[in-house]
């Protein structure tokens, strides 16, 4: 068919159909050679058409394209995968730590330690931790514990101990703890004459004033011993007597675990707890008790805060052993 267009135009113009069959032999030979050459080139891959590079490119370039495309996609895919990882890490560690590390020992202390500067809430439980016989070599560590975990205490100090620990006593006052008198040299006041009782009170009061710069209106009589005479003298001097209703016997036990248990097993709202900061075992116990009591909801307050939080009065010459609520 194409032959008519190729070389036989001149003869086709002659008008006879049979003429194509009589085309010259060289025309058929040329055609065969061209076809053969074309097939050869095609099969050898050297045919300079647009198909070859297209075929080669798909093989060589499509592969890289296919690889690059996923490669490019994998990067962004990996990035978003990495993004959630840190988030998971932020969450998993907390859970992981809680589940893997804390559970065995500290599953119970779920409540968190309240902020240290919470204002006193009269409607919530509160107790007064009191420390006698100091200041001493362990008092500073006890102050550290309160500073770390929060809460305030009341220190009933022995006058003759103050000189050696003036700075500690001053620090206690500056950090919001209450300072009371525990006499000058720890005698049983009920066995003393009136003048001696007065001297025990005034001398210690003045020493505290000198060292810590605070006025003293609380007295814890040594051994808790008080009678009408002691109360009367205290009343004349504007002094309130403070004893206790919880005695973990830390001075006798000298064992932090037992002191801890003794307090935790008996403590309740409104209590005044007797302890002694001259014993390292007591301070050891406090380093656990202070945070634990606060986590359980107890406000660790001074004696004056405890007794007056619900509107109670502190009458000089009167003994208080725990908070007496007005309505009680």
Cβ closest to Ni ion, residue 222 vs residue 317: 222
Q: Residue 65's CB: how many other CB atoms inside 10 A? A: 12
| Residue matched to tokens 């008092």 | 139
- Which residues are CB-contacts of 163 (< 8 A; sequence separation ≥ 6)? 207, 211
From the candidates 177, 276, 279, 284, which is the catalytic residue?
A: 276
177 catalytically annotated: no
Parallel/antiparallel/unpaired status of strands 153-157 and 240-242: unpaired
Burial of 133 (0-12, 13-18, 19+ CB in 10 A): buried
Count of residues engaged in binding Ni ion, rule: CB under 5 A? 3
Least Cβ distance, residue 222 to Ni ion (angstroms): 5
Cβ closest to Ni ion, residue 133 vs residue 284: 133
Specify the stretch interacting with Ni ion by CB under 5 A; choose among 46-54, 103-111, 129-137, 202-210: 129-137
Which residues pair with residue 126 across a beta bridge?
A: 299
CA distance 249 to 100: 37
Cβ closest to Ni ion, residue 158 vs residue 240: 158
CA distance 207 to 133: 15
132 catalytically annotated: yes
Specify the stretch interacting with Ni ion by CB under 5 A; choose among 21-29, 54-62, 120-128, 220-228: 220-228
Enumerate residues 164-203 that contact Ni ion by CB under 5 A.
none
Q: Please give the residue whose beta carbon sits closest to Ni ion in the complex.
A: 132
Q: Residue 292's CB: how many other CB atoms inside 10 A? A: 17
DSSP-derived letter for residue 3 is: G
Applying CB under 5 A, which of residues 129, 133, 207, 219 lies at the interface with Ni ion?
133
Applying CB under 5 A, which of residues 131, 132, 201, 279 lies at the interface with Ni ion?
132
Contacts with Ni ion by CB under 5 A lie at 132-133, 222
Residues belonging to the active site = 132, 276
């Amino acid at each position: 068919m194409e032959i008519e267009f190729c070389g036989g135009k001149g003869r086709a113009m002659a008008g006879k159909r049979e003429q194509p069959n009589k085309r010259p032999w060289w025309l058929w030979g040329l055609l065969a050679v061209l076809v053969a050459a074309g097939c050869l080139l095609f099969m050898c891959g050297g045919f300079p058409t647009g198909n070859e590079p297209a075929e080669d490119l798909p093989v060589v370039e499509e592969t890289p394209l296919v690889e690059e495309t996923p490669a490019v996609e994998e990067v962004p895919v990996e990035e978003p995968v990495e993004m959630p990882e840190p988030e998971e890490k932020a969450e998993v560690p907390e859970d992981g730590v809680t589940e893997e590390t804390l559970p065995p020992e500290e599953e119970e202390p779920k409540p968190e330690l309240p902020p240290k500067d919470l204002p006193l809430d009269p409607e919530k439980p509160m107790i007064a931790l009191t420390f006698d016989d100091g200041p001493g070599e362990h008092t500073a560590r006890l102050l550290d514990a309160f500073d770390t975990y929060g809460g305030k205490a009341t220190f009933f100090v022995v006058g003759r101990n103050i000189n050696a620990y003036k700075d500690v006593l001053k620090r206690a006052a500056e950090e919001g703890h209450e300072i009371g008198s525990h006499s000058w040299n720890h005698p049983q006041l009920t066995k003393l004459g009136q003048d001696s009782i007065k001297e025990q009170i005034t001398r210690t009061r003045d020493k505290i004033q000198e060292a810590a710069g605070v006025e003293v209106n609380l007295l814890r009589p040594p051994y808790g011993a008080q009678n009408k005479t002691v109360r009367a003298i205290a009343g004349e001097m504007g002094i309130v007597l403070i004893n206790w209703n919880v005695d973990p016997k830390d001075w006798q036990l000298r064992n932090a675990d037992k002191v801890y248990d003794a307090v935790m097993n008996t403590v309740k709202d409104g209590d005044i707890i007797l302890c002694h900061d001259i014993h390292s075992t007591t301070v050891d116990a406090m380093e656990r008790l202070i945070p634990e009591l606060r986590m359980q909801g107890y406000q660790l307050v001074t004696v004056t805060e405890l007794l007056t939080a619900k509107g109670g009065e502190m009458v000089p010459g009167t003994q208080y052993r725990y908070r007496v609520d007005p309505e009680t």
